[in-house]
Chain A
């Protein structure tokens, strides 16, 4: 209990308090609004740390469970049911961690309609936290679907040139997947007489016959969100048009909802179907890795490049998940965090450049390291983290994933991991090309000569991310300690099914 409130409730709904306060502020009080949003999100981060303190990492089960009946439909209860375990706790922390950073990044970038922006941002935070914490499937769906709205506005109102196109595409594309998921949720809930996660898990043999379809319905929703090749085309558009903070959250957190969904629902609920689908998912993941890397190399717009790099990076996550080994799964979870940090930071950096030059075309830059040494150095670190350089976070995730996938009995072939490892080379190619075009070489454009280096606020925005990048890279053990017990359970769960399937 924190202030007499359940910690998960506090974490989930604290942003709403800020939202309400902002509603009562005048639109002209921009700074008050900004500070409210920042402080609320920091308080939420604090609350999530308090949650972490109460979390017992040695246990792999759901903890800090909060459950209260909400409504009953035809004898089936829909509960307000929250809980956290090793699969979700890091994602919750990532969310509460990135939100204040994203808000801080808007300080001077968003000048118009600050009130609406911050209001939507805090709403979005609540939605995302709810997704990671909800254990009732209907409640999960509510949070899941609800996150679309604030993000839609963040892109559509505060976005770039083609923002409307991008926002609508984002909304419809992701909604398409989630609708099928809703159908699957209904089918399952009605069959099992409950929408609660653990009830469904306990009765999963009920879906043994239909599980392939159910798996596909869930998988579609999550694969779109991840996004997996070939369902990824909403992502570059959304990223390019979204405002910086939106991109940070989109890449940092929203995409993780897909990977998390696979872990939380697909794998435990439909183990046989998951095992059956694993090779196909792995093929898509590997294609995504290589394809994302290749396409990203050809982009002229930095943001688009980073967006396609997400396709590649999240391919690793999916490969790890569908390797069904502890290393793969744990690496997958960690890689989600890693991607959130490094890609989030890359978007912050792009935003900082954009704020100065109002273009994202790489040809407009070149030699920026010389005029902005601090930014250059920070970008270098982030870029290397994204490229998976040992000593930085990206490597830890990629290595464990590849290690896990390489000997996966489910995939039963080292070629998946082998091909994915080529992605490590290609990642170096596109990231170095990006770094070269923007930061290296001589300063070619007159306007770039007078660029000011980062100010203190911008450095403070990036610094926490960098600290984590180094922390995870240099000493990842504590993070894995949080993840491992839950992953162990998950693997045991799936493997018991696999054994059954063989016999």
Chain B
């Protein structure tokens, strides 16, 4: 396919979802759930179609090109165009976003149908799809951007969608407000990251004179030679943005809470696509990062530390989605490490495979939750009280309430198993290959990182085993689990498709073919050919198997008997497990170090300073005037003799002036 003919289609990756939004807003009410779902899915699907066409176009013209849509801003020497950058990197992201997105749209038709009824507001069905389409549009703007400004537009846009979807059930959650608070937390933490990105953008503009990728990257070596500090500042501020969006240390804290959103959202936004935007950004900006070794090291270590740190927390979680959330953070850490090391292809590779298997896991978890909700409602309808107590207290996401679902939901189990093993890095599933590429690269250049990542890989396998055991094996630990049933096809079909992708995704950059590398080297800066190191591969496989085995020994062999039984690790690890369960108390730490001091400061400013000092001064002047008036009034005492005295005083003053003149 000729590249020039497909290039003008590029804007439609954004326009189709926007069209979907408009149609659903205008006619959604009349169309009903089916119609809404179809329109939204179609919008995402068409977007995928366009991306696919662009990809086809790129095969014959891999260096890509840009499509100019309009001049967005022009003030003095600053111009920003809305251009669509079509190159292998952006199209790869488009394919992932739209592809996984379309599947999740379809899945959501079934999932949300049940969810809106379970939560008691069917009217919100449409809203969900509008938000979802909005997300696709914003994500497309992000990945198709040709300059940092448009990237930022999409960057914040996806943040907004994340906010909206986390708070989708804004009246639910602990105390009725927890979901809304989680959404707020996500937005604010992301804003902190965006702050970094903004500063980076300003720095770029003033040192490169432009925000266009082309111009900036081309000049990067020269600027770096003259002003290495500036490049370092740019890259590190950018890293702050990355840690926010991609949930790295220290700004990862919003992602676990973001699980308050409906499960498809967790799959699409908080696992497969949005959170990888940071990885994309670093990959895209390799030209900047590779100028400064220190910047690369920082990125790498942030990623590695996150990978290990999040993996530890995942060990202590009971919520099926929280486990996956920490797993996502950990896996994002792998990717960030990769792009930090300069192994951008490996990072992108892991990004793609992770999108498949993590989406699969989340959707699988969603299926499990649906099953449990169904079972719970079924049980409640029969009037038999579960041992968990009344309706409100029942948590369909708590793994302690599950168990034995392998038999109740067989299809879900099998696809979940594929996703889990891919995550654990078991050959020949996709996760094995992508993770191995990262580990191989690390082993060559950064042995310490390699060790850390391997440890993280071990823990990954371990918590995967723990989760599988707690959810699917053993006996049902609640009536809901006992009454769970398999989900409808609209839910399971996307699962199957994703399972296939998760299984064979490794082919994308199979050690012998390196398709992805050859594809991306046209748009990534400084791509080094990846090496397949057999020893590393074998070690990583061994580590993964060991993790699974240990996990199985602890959780699988002797399953939990009932929901209240403590975790088998709780006693042997004692305080350590408590720390894991409480996520190392990082939230509390932030609360104490940032949130509460800020609130106290704000209160100090609002009351004693603003109302007291500043307004007090203003009113004080007024009061002073009034007081002066009242006291001067007494001089006007009504006695005519006193008035004469005042006149005399005036005369004396006048004469004094004359005498002293």
Contacts and interface: CB of A to CB of B under 8 A. Distances in A.
Chain A bound to chain B: yes
Interface of A: 169, 172-173, 230, 232-234, 291, 294-295, 297-299, 325-327, 330-331, 367, 369-370, 373, 380, 384, 389-391, 395-396, 399-400, 402-404, 406-407, 414, 417-418, 421-422, 424-425, 428-429, 432-433, 436, 439-444, 475-477, 480, 484, 487-488, 491
Interface in B148-178: 149, 152-157, 160, 163-164, 167, 170-171, 176-177
Q: Interface residue tally of chain B, by bracket?
A: 35 or more
A476 B73 CA distance: 6
A267 to B, nearest CB: 16
Given A417-B202, A476-B72, 14 more contacts: A291-B605, A295-B610, A297-B602, A326-B77, A367-B176, A369-B170, A390-B156, A399-B149, A400-B78, A404-B75, A418-B199, A421-B195, A429-B188, A477-B71
A480 B75 contact: yes
A436 B180 contact: yes
A421 B199 contact: yes
Interface of B is mostly: helix
27 contacts: A232-B614, A294-B598, A294-B606, A327-B76, A370-B121, A389-B157, A390-B152, A390-B155, A395-B153, A399-B149, A400-B75, A403-B78, A406-B203, A407-B206, A422-B195, A424-B195, A428-B188, A440-B177, A440-B180, A441-B176, A441-B177, A442-B177, A475-B70, A477-B71, A480-B74, A480-B75, A484-B75
B590 to A, nearest CB: 14
Interface of B: 70-78, 121, 123, 149, 152-157, 160, 163-164, 167, 170-171, 176-177, 180-181, 183-184, 187-188, 191-192, 194-195, 198-199, 201-203, 205-206, 598-599, 601-603, 605-607, 610, 614-615, 618, 622
Nearest to A232: B614
Contacts of B180: 436, 440-441
B603 A298 contact: yes
B188 A477 contact: no
B197 to A, nearest CB: 10
A364 B606 CA distance: 21
Nearest to B156: A390
Contacts of A442: 171, 176-177
A35 B78 CA distance: 46
Contacts of B195: 421-422, 424-425
B171 A367 contact: yes
Nearest to A443: B171
Query: Which among B73, B121, B156, B598 has the greatest number of chain A C-beta atoms within 10 A?
Result: B73
Contacts of A487: 75
A299 B75 contact: no
The listed residue with most B CB atoms (<10 A of its CB), out of A233, A234, A327, A384, is: A233
A294 B602 contact: yes
A291 B598 CA distance: 11
Contacts of B123: 373
Given A294-B605, A297-B602, A396-B73, A440 B170 contact: yes
A488 B610 CA distance: 38
Contacts, number: 154
B655 to A, nearest CB: 33
Contacts of B598: 294
B202 A295 contact: no
A480 B73 contact: yes
A436 B188 contact: no
Nearest to A370: B171
A233 B606 CA distance: 11
Nearest to A473: B153
A391 B602 CA distance: 30
Given A294-B598, A441-B171, A442-B176, A331 B75 contact: yes
A418 B154 CA distance: 22
A325 B76 contact: yes
Contacts of A230: 614
A172 B623 CA distance: 13
Contact of B177 (A418, A436, A488): A436
Nearest to A234: B618
A424 B73 contact: no
Contacts of A421: 195, 198-199
B602 A390 contact: no
B187 A428 contact: yes
A86 to B, nearest CB: 12
A440 B167 contact: yes
Most buried by B among A233, A370, A390, A400: A390
Contacts of B152: 390
B379 to A, nearest CB: 25
Contacts of A294: 598, 601-602, 605-606
A298 B191 contact: no
A298 B611 CA distance: 12
B202 A414 contact: yes
Contacts of A418: 199
Contact of B153 (A234, A390, A414, A440): A390
A295 B602 contact: yes
A128 B332 CA distance: 55
A488 B160 CA distance: 35
A477 B73 contact: yes
Nearest to A429: B188
Contacts of A173: 618
A389 B156 contact: yes
A407 B610 contact: no
A298 B602 contact: yes
Contacts of A476: 72-73
A480 B70 CA distance: 14
A491 B78 CA distance: 15
A477 B70 CA distance: 9
B202 A488 contact: no
A407 B208 CA distance: 12
A354 to B, nearest CB: 22
Highest count of chain A CB atoms <10 Å: which of B76, B599, B615: B76
Contacts of B160: 384, 389
Nearest to B79: A477
Given A294-B601, A295-B605, A326-B75, A432 B205 contact: no
A432 B74 contact: no
